[in-house]
Structure 1
Amino acid sequence: MPSQTEPAAPSQCVGPEYRPNAQKPTATVSTEVSHENVHILPQTPQLIALLTMIRDKNTNRADFIFYSNRIIRLLVEEGLNHLPVVEHTISTPVGRTYSGVKFEGKICGVSIMRAGEAMEQGLRDCCRSVRIGKILIQRDEETSKPKLFYDKLPEDISDRWVLLLDPMLATGGSALMAVDVLISRGVPEERILFLNLIASPEGAVNFAQKFPKVRVVTAFVDMGLNEKNYIVPGLGDFGDRFYTM
């Protein structure tokens, strides 16, 4: 049960639209964030089921990887929807024309090591031969603040749309520093999209307020942070569960 000071988790009936609510189970859904640049994936039965699997402490590593990859694919697909397109008319094999669109400009991915590297394959699955840079940020034990240790980015990154990859957004310190690095390399703020599996409200708000032109695409905003700044209810350490446990 939530404490008197802790708000109840938002919930709704989840299931096919053609079924009445009485025939649908009730599930916890994402907390809403009142910032236009934070986009939360639709809380569909599929997404909630996938999140349930990766949150479960009893889910083994193979299943954790499989279901995480499915969510990552949904995030990448939605992230690509936020990129600008231009008109593009083509001819079909039957001699007709089709008025379509194509992406405007080049893209690249940038993963925040190490957990963010788990999202790289999902981006490659959607964008063949995409270039991917890396940023290593770790917490300084003396100051408890994030510190940049390493970055390797495409030389022409300032000319690209950047999909920044990191599965967990807690306080937002690492992601905020990563955006600072990208901006220092000449990437316009409005050309950065941050793809994230689970965020805290605090991290999402910090991010939205500091970088209002960066679009955040997340699968779920959780209830908050505990005294150790862990996302709750969360899913534990994503990197450990994906790579080692």
Structure 2
Amino acid sequence: MTVTLLTHPVVQGKVSDLRLVSSSSKQFRDGLSAISTFVGIEASKNLAVEDVPNLSSPLSPFTGKKVASRIGLAPILRAGLGMESALLELFPDAPVYHLGLFREKVSLQAVEYYSRLPSLVTVDTLYILDPLLATGGTAIAAVNMAKDWGLPVSQIKLLSVLGSSEGLAAIEKAFPELDIFIAAIDSQLTSKGYISPGVGDAGDRIYGTSS
């Protein structure tokens, strides 16, 4: 498994702001979106490109470039929605396949309740959007959903903002060939499966609710 940890100083500063208990929901949403842009750029830097001929600038004709791969986005409900807009800015024509998963509070196991994946595979690369990789269970379930859809793991990329060492280890055990792009990693999980120091519950902080 390849884990790409973003070390850009702007990203690290925004992660620190995201952690603050004093951040409002708007500040949290804005910070999450900004970090997601950096993560998306890093995750897509090796995509194949193709020529677009017969274009014109104000001065002369030229041959442009565009991404050759068909990109799909799979935000995990509900916190993954906080990353969706940023990735759509990068890939405005990408289809969005929402995945409904929640973590059962006692067992901490992922439970699937919704999938918008179509019957046929329609993309070359699927970006799964999951802001927090705590125990790793939800991400593992989402990757399994994409595999069952028909994508090999080599065409699935997991994009996140914050993870735990334990969660990443669990994902690596399940999918040693998976590529993960993430902005920060914490070493501890609480007894309830929250990343510490972490950011709290991402969904609650995005939408101003409480668990």
Q: Does residue 1:39 correspond to 2:11, yes or no? A: no
Q: Which residue of 2 aligns with 1:7?
A: none
2:161 partner SS: strand
In structure 2, the residue matched to 1:4 is: none
- Which piece of structure 1 moves more, 133-142 or 144-153? 133-142
Could you say which residue in structure 2 is the equivalent of 1:213? Answer: 177
| 1:81 alignment partner AA | K
C-alpha RMSD over aligned residues: 2.1
- The structure-2 alpha-carbon separation of the partners of 1:56 and 1:143, relative to structure 1 and needing over 3 Å to count, comes to closer
For the pair 1:168 / 2:132, whether they are aligned, the reply is yes
Q: List per-residue Cα deviations over 1:110-147 (Å, max 9, x = no partner).
A: 01110011111111111113210111112345654222
**Residue 180 in structure 1 maps to residue 149 in structure 2:** no
64 and 240 in structure 1: CA distance in 2 versus 1, 3 angstrom threshold: same
Which consecutive unaligned segments of at least 5 residues does structure 2 have? none
Q: CA deviation at 1:159?
A: 4.0
User: Pick from 66, 70, 76: which aligns with 2:34?
Assistant: 70
Match of residue 83 from structure 2: 119
Find the aligned partners of 2:123 and 2:93 in 1 and give their Cα distance. Answer: 17
Query: Alignment identity in percent?
Result: 28
Indicate conservation of the 8 Å contact 2:51/2:65, yes or no. yes
Amino acid at match of 1:197: V
* Inter-CA distance 158–203: structure 2 relative to 1 (3 Å threshold): farther
Whether 1:238 aligns to 2:202 is yes
Find out whether 1:129 has 2:93 as its counterpart.
yes
User: Is 1:88 the counterpart of 2:51 in the alignment?
Assistant: yes
C-alpha deviation, 1:209, in angstroms: 2.8
Q: Which moved more, 1:59-68 or 1:164-173?
A: 59-68
> Judging changes above 3 Å, is the alpha-carbon distance between structure 1 residues 239 and 90 closer, same or farther for their aligned structure 2 residues?
same
Moved more, 201-210 or 88-97: 88-97
Task: Tell me if structure 1 keeps the 8 A contact 2:49–2:69.
Answer: no
TM-score normalized by the length of structure 1: 0.77
The number of equivalent residue pairs is: 207
* Aligned pairs (5 A) from 1:137-176: 137-140=101-104, 143-157=107-121, 159-176=123-140
Q: How far apart are 1:101 and its partner, in Å?
A: 5.2
Q: Which protein has greater RCO, CA pairs closer than 8 Å, 6+ apart?
A: 2
**Distance of 2:23 and 2:126 partners within structure 1:** 32
Measured in 2, the distance between the counterparts of 1:69 and 1:188 equals 28
Deviations, residues 87-117 of structure 1 (Å, cap 9, x unaligned) = 537466445766x754232111001110011
Stretch of structure 1 that moved more, 180-189 or 71-80: 71-80
Aligned position for 1:225:
189
Q: Which deviates further from its counterpart, 189-198 or 219-228?
A: 219-228
CA drift of 1:162 comes to: 0.3
Q: Is the 8 A contact 1:132 1:154 kept in 2?
A: no
Residues 142, 233 of structure 1: CA spacing in aligned structure 2 closer, same or farther, 3 A cutoff?
A: closer
Structure 1 CA distance, aligned partners of 2:132 and 2:202?
7
Residue by residue over 1:51-109, the C-alpha shift from the partner in whole angstroms, topping out at 9 and shown as x without a partner, is 111101011222122222111111111121143x14537466445766x7542321110
**SS of the residue aligned with 1:193?**
strand
The structure having more radius of gyration, on CA atoms, is: 1
Does the 8 Å CA contact 1:158/1:186 hold for their aligned counterparts?
A: no
CA distance in 2: counterparts of 1:222 and 1:144, whole angstroms:
19
